[in-house]
Amino acid sequence: MLLKFTKMHGLGNDFVVVDAVSRKVFFNKRQIERLSDRNWGIGFDQLLVVEPPTQPDMDFRYRIYNSDGSEVEHCGNGARCFAKFVLDRELTNKRVIDVETKRGAIQLRVMDDGLVTVDMGVPSFEPSDLPFTADTSDELYSILVADKEYLLTPVSVGNPHAVIKVDQLLDEEVAKVGSLLECHERFPQKVNVGFMQVVSPEEINLRVYERGSGETQACGTGTCAAVVAGIKQGWLSPKVIAHLRGGDLQIEWQGAGQPILMTGPAEKVFEGQIYL
């Protein structure tokens, strides 16, 4: 099969986006792994598949696959690319787009300046929602990794995250601790790991080791998780600029029961086609 695709990125977190509205497209794990290979395929962090909705009040269905072929619930940077893609391809003329995901419904709002604001939904700090095996009912949980104790905040923003506040962002720590925590036994469905350095109540530096992909240039859900964890712990204000390796995101959260709003860019890199 000849597959037409669009390569996109959100702050360097890169995607291959496929239109499965105009033509039905199906992928298996082997095909996704091949396509994601940066030497033998196209190369990407996630594959985004745009499908027709299954519910009458939705505009599209949005499916997300990691480079290892696993399907995930949510991707914030991908959601912004999704919005730009469906407008550029004239699959819709709406500037406010309602989309189904594996996690549930999300709303995408394309601004006049080209930035996209995503309503990421209401976060949960319940360990069972990640899931996370908690032996206490604390807000900060202690976990031993590589002979060192880390304090983390578990938070679900549709997918599971563990947020660690650090004094410095160190390459070796992100790679080693991120990979060990991703597969830690207390996270039975694995976890995304965020390393957050608080610059001020309105500003953070962040690196994220993503489940199934490793460290990426930017992670939208990871940024949302880090900011809401920081707000919950009293370290951050309700509106924060997050500096990631690929650029900046703005996150706003007004507290318990309220949705997270994430605003940032989305860029098309090129279009192409490849035989599966």
Binding positions for substrate are 13, 46, 66, 76-77, 159, 192, 210-211, 220-221
63 backbone dihedrals φ, ψ, rounded to 5° = -115, 145
Separate counts of helices (H) and strands (E) for the chain? 4, 18
CB 218 within 8 A of CB 10: yes
Q: Give one DSSP letter per residue of 62-101, joined into a string.
A: EEEEETTS-EES--HHHHHHHHHHHHHTTS---SEEEEE-
Give the separation between CA 87 and CA 92, rounded to whole angstroms. Answer: 6
List residues with catalytic annotation: 75, 219
Q: Which residue has the tokens 């709003």?
A: 261
Distance of CA 261 to the CA centre of its chain: 13
3-class SS letters over 94-125: CCEEEEECCCCEEEEEECCCCCEEEECCCCEC
Give the separation between CA 57 and CA 66, rounded to whole angstroms. Answer: 27
> Considering only CA atoms, which of 172, 155, 81 is closest in space to residue 118?
81
Residues that constitute the known binding site: 13, 46, 66, 76-77, 159, 192, 210-211, 220-221
Give the separation between CA 161 and CA 191, rounded to whole angstroms. Answer: 5
Instruction: Provide the 3-class DSSP secondary structure of residue 202.
Output: coil
β-bridge mates for residue 5, sequence order: 272
